[in-house]
Amino acid sequence: MGGNLKQVAREAGVSLATASRVLSGSSYPVSAELRERVVEVAARLDYVPNAQARALITGNARTVGVLVGQVGDHYFDALVDGVRRVAAEESCLVTVVSTDRDPERELASFRQLQSHGASIIIVAGSGLDDEEYRVGLAARVASFSQTGRVVLLGRHELDAGVPAVRVEADNHGAGHALGAHLRRLGHTRVGVLSGSGVVTSTVDRVRGVADGLGRAPTVVQVPQTRDGGYAGMSQLLALDADLTAVVATADQMAIGALAYCRDHGLAVPTDMSVAGCNDIWVARDLTPSLTTVHIPLEEMGGAALRLALAEENGGLKRQFFPVQLVVRESTGPSPDA
Amino acid sequence: MGGNLKQVAREAGVSLATASRVLSGSSYPVSAELRERVVEVAARLDYVPNAQARALITGNARTVGVLVGQVGDHYFDALVDGVRRVAAEESCLVTVVSTDRDPERELASFRQLQSHGASIIIVAGSGLDDEEYRVGLAARVASFSQTGRVVLLGRHELDAGVPAVRVEADNHGAGHALGAHLRRLGHTRVGVLSGSGVVTSTVDRVRGVADGLGRAPTVVQVPQTRDGGYAGMSQLLALDADLTAVVATADQMAIGALAYCRDHGLAVPTDMSVAGCNDIWVARDLTPSLTTVHIPLEEMGGAALRLALAEENGGLKRQFFPVQLVVRESTGPSPDA
DNA sequence: ACCGCCATAGTAAACGTTTCCTGCCGCAGG
DNA sequence: CCTGCGGCAGGAAACGTTTACTATGGCGGT
């Protein structure tokens, strides 16, 4: 299993130190002759430096860990894409680990990333509203921030004392915009398809809808998927057959709701208005195209990493992203009006 | 920056060796009393083992690297999700790095993963049909396979001598199914929206369409995105105004084509049949719902990792996944017939 | 001619683990 | 009573790097 630095040094007839200095890009002066010899031998032997050994000494592995709630969920995928885009520029390695919305797994995964020498950990996970979990996470963050930086992405349940960079979207504002939009259209009986009720971003959106609408909507909690939305639509109508509008806390669920309407002869938006949240790319290509709220998820992901990298020099500690209502064809005036 | 093994050992009044044996789950016998003391101290100090140092000795970091062509592309996202699902079960860490379809970056990234001690590297990247690149990749694979396993996922341009596990889908069959389907519907003038012409999976699909159709379609190469499909549709009609059907090598492009048709008053499928490939989740929720070919991308991703893990004990070297045509509403009889 | 400094090379100590090997103790067999 | 062995603890080497420190030689300044 060839190819370590010692072999290169021996083959090139130089000391370990010299070889290291050449190949690690050190500023220490090495004569042109030796330098060239080392480079040549390294190429010939296909020397690949061992980043683990290097990190053991320098402490910095240029590695970013990202904790997400669920793989395959567009919300997290978009955030991660943003992180990766920046990571590529900075030639950082990104390790994503999914916690499947399990608090215990999230803590364990955090530990695992910490163990593997990540220098930045971005927590985009579930953001659970659970006391024990909160304490555990705070402890992990405190422990890790001695050696690296933590970014809390799209969540805010930890109090300000916790040493972390924060990147957040205006989730309440997103819900509020949708609620107000429906109110302007004359809707009073509104349903909400909500993802898990302990995830802070979801909770904020639901509250926002209520506030924007000026009254309490009917809420059901369902899996945050297309099929969850489909099933939830049926639950909502069972709870209140006179609903004229539905808001989903994520576009996938809204798409499920649209499918339900189509399958059950409900015209959208004539009989039923449907709106989503996040503005996934396909929202504009549906029929009817989906009213939703654009949330700059990719930008947020990118910002998360950038802030963490910049913070070395004491940069910005918090960034808040505004959202924007995108009105399309799936919402219209209430038939009651 | 506390929390290393030496501190735990000192605090517990035992030797480094004993502490290590307790905390690394070694089978070496340690008395119950010391064991308990070590565990207690480790918990109290919040000891987090340094995986880098450990990997330096054991050589095994339980880390999987995945090379993908482009983040945000559903094709790769689905593959990666499959990998991650299995990785979670095996508690492996997954590091994904995007090469943006740049061969040079792909090679560099491969090196970077190798350097960071990945024990398995899954190459799902571009699969370029380029000689120099092929040689470079073969060299990297050969180098890495001395210490780890390589999986080539969804590509086949490397010859059989290269020591790697292979997981492939029947890309030619996918194209063939679509071509044959359109032929049965009486279409003769067919357009193809193709992604990059040097990516093997894409090339295979295009050939498949031609073979299934029994004649050469009009092909344009466009970016493999929704907007690429939209623009490509316009190019195709400029090349042949009498087209009655279009096949896209990925669903996003087909969605763009549908949007183009809607914007330009072409009824689907009456005036124009449109079909995609991959069967992304939203395909059935479009209007009209999209005829496409289901490719088990997640299963393939999962299989890739599983085979690599199993191969330690000399497992299967190659797995081939069949595909299935899914006929929906976006294709119909040719208006010419 | 001597002192000291710069440029460059090499030696060895660290980084945090795991594990080989040696050593101690008590007990059973001769 | 001595020998051997098994259960357990610790010392120290090793993994592949980086880097602080030391060593050498040439050269300019006095």
B95 Cα to chain A: minimum distance (Å): 4
User: Can you tell me the distance from the alpha carbon of B225 to that of B71, in angstroms, rounded to the nearest whole number?
Assistant: 12
pLDDT band at B133 (very low <50, low <70, confident <90, very high): confident
- Provide, in whole angstroms, the distance separating residue A19's CA from nucleotide C11's C1': 14
pLDDT, position A239:
98
Q: Which nucleotides of C are covered by protein (CB under 7 A)?
A: 7-20
pLDDT over threshold 50, residue B290 = yes
Nearest to A95 by CA among B304, B68, B96, B125: B96
pLDDT over threshold 90, residue B84 = yes
pLDDT, tens digit (0-9, with 9 covering 90-100), for B101-126: 788 888 999 999 999 989 999 999 76
Is the CB of residue A22 less than 8 Å from the CB of residue A38?
Answer: yes
Strand B120-124 relative to strand B149-153, pairing: parallel
Of A179-183, B47-51, B80-84, B89-93, the least confident: B89-93
A33 CB neighbours strand C below 7 A: yes
pLDDT over threshold 70, residue B1 = no
What are the φ/ψ torsions at residue A52 (nearest 5 degrees)? -65, -45
pLDDT, tens digit (0-9, with 9 covering 90-100), for B14-40: 999 999 999 999 999 999 999 999 999
CB pair distance less than 8 Å for B48 and A111: yes
pLDDT, position A126:
66
pLDDT over threshold 80, residue B314 = no
pLDDT, position A337:
65
Rounded percentage of chain B residues whose pLDDT exceeds 90: 74
Q: pTM for this one?
A: 0.91
User: Can you tell me the distance from the alpha carbon of B136 to that of B107, in angstroms, rounded to the nearest whole number?
Assistant: 7
Residues 4-43 of chain B sitting with CB below 7 angstroms of strand C? 4-6, 16-17, 20-21, 23-24, 26
Average per-residue pLDDT for chain B: 92
Closest nucleotide to A16 by C1' from CA: C10
Beta bridge partners of A150: A121
Mutate to test the interface with B, among A52, A68, A140 (most CBs of B within 10 A): A52
User: Can you tell me the distance from the alpha carbon of B248 to that of B261, in angstroms, rounded to the nearest whole number?
Assistant: 14
B57 CB neighbours strand C below 7 A: yes
Strand A324-326 relative to strand B273-275, pairing: unpaired
What is the sign of the dihedral through the CA atoms of A89, A95, A99 and A104? negative
Q: What is the mean pLDDT of residues B163-179?
A: 95
Question: From the centroid of its chain, how far is CA B167?
Answer: 10
Q: What is the mean pLDDT of residues B245-251?
A: 98
Name the DSSP class of B47. Answer: -
Domains of chain B as residue ranges with CATH: 5-49 (1.10.260.40), 60-169+297-322 (3.40.50.2300), 171-296 (3.40.50.2300)
pLDDT over threshold 60, residue B276 = yes
pLDDT, tens digit (0-9, with 9 covering 90-100), for B204-244: 999 999 999 999 999 999 999 999 999 999 999 999 999 99
pLDDT band at B337 (very low <50, low <70, confident <90, very high): low
Q: What is the mean pLDDT of residues A285-290?
A: 97
B37 Cα to chain A: minimum distance (Å): 22
pLDDT band at A316 (very low <50, low <70, confident <90, very high): low
A214 Cα to chain B: minimum distance (Å): 32
Average per-residue pLDDT for chain A: 92
Q: Would you tell me how many other CB atoms lie within 10 Å of the CB of residue B24?
A: 12
pLDDT, tens digit (0-9, with 9 covering 90-100), for A28-52: 999 999 999 999 999 999 999 999 9
B50 CB neighbours strand C below 7 A: yes
A54 CB neighbours strand D below 7 A: yes
pLDDT, position B59:
83
Name the DSSP class of B218. Answer: E
Please name the helix (run of DSSP H) or strand (run of DSSP E) that holds residue B209, with its range, or none.
Answer: helix B200-213
pLDDT, position A90:
87
User: Can you tell me the distance from the alpha carbon of A79 to that of A251, in angstroms, rounded to the nearest whole number?
Assistant: 15
Beta bridge partners of A93: A63
Range list of β-strands (E), B130-232:
149-153, 165-169, 190-194, 218-221
Strand A120-124 relative to strand A165-169, pairing: unpaired
What are the φ/ψ torsions at residue B124 (nearest 5 degrees)? -110, 15
**Residues of chain B neighbouring A84 (CB-CB closer than 8 A):** 71, 96, 98
CB pair distance less than 8 Å for B116 and A63: yes
pLDDT, tens digit (0-9, with 9 covering 90-100), for A213-242: 999 999 999 999 999 999 999 999 999 999
Rounded percentage of chain A residues whose pLDDT exceeds 70: 97
User: Letter for the amino acid at B120?
Assistant: I
Q: Would you tell me how many other CB atoms lie within 10 Å of the CB of residue A168?
A: 18
What are the φ/ψ torsions at residue B213 (nearest 5 degrees)? -75, -30
Q: Which residue has the tokens 């890790």?
A: A144
pLDDT, position B8:
96
Q: What is the mean pLDDT of residues B155-182?
A: 90
pLDDT, position B60:
80
Strand B292-294 relative to strand B324-326, pairing: antiparallel
Cross-sheet strand order for the sheet of A245-248: A218-221, A190-194, A245-248, A273-275
CB pair distance less than 8 Å for A46 and B139: yes
The residue ranking higher by pLDDT, A135 or A155, is A135
Alpha-helical (H) ranges within chain A are 5-12, 16-23, 32-45, 51-58, 74-89, 103-115, 131-144, 171-184, 200-213, 226-239, 251-263, 297-310
Is the CB of residue A209 less than 8 Å from the CB of residue A192?
Answer: yes
Is the CB of residue A79 less than 8 Å from the CB of residue A68?
Answer: yes
CB pair distance less than 8 Å for B93 and A116: yes
Residues 6-25 of chain B sitting with CB below 7 angstroms of strand D? 13-18
CB pair distance less than 8 Å for A259 and B285: yes
Please name the helix (run of DSSP H) or strand (run of DSSP E) that holds residue A120, with its range, or none.
Answer: strand A120-124
Name the DSSP class of B268. Answer: T
CB pair distance less than 8 Å for A282 and B226: yes
**Residues of chain A neighbouring B147 (CB-CB closer than 8 A):** 1
pLDDT over threshold 90, residue A73 = no
**Residues of chain A neighbouring B56 (CB-CB closer than 8 A):** 50, 52-53, 56
pLDDT band at A1 (very low <50, low <70, confident <90, very high): very low
* Closest residue (CA to C1') to nucleotide C20 in the complex: B17
A98 Cα to chain B: minimum distance (Å): 8
Is the CB of residue B178 less than 8 Å from the CB of residue B247?
Answer: yes
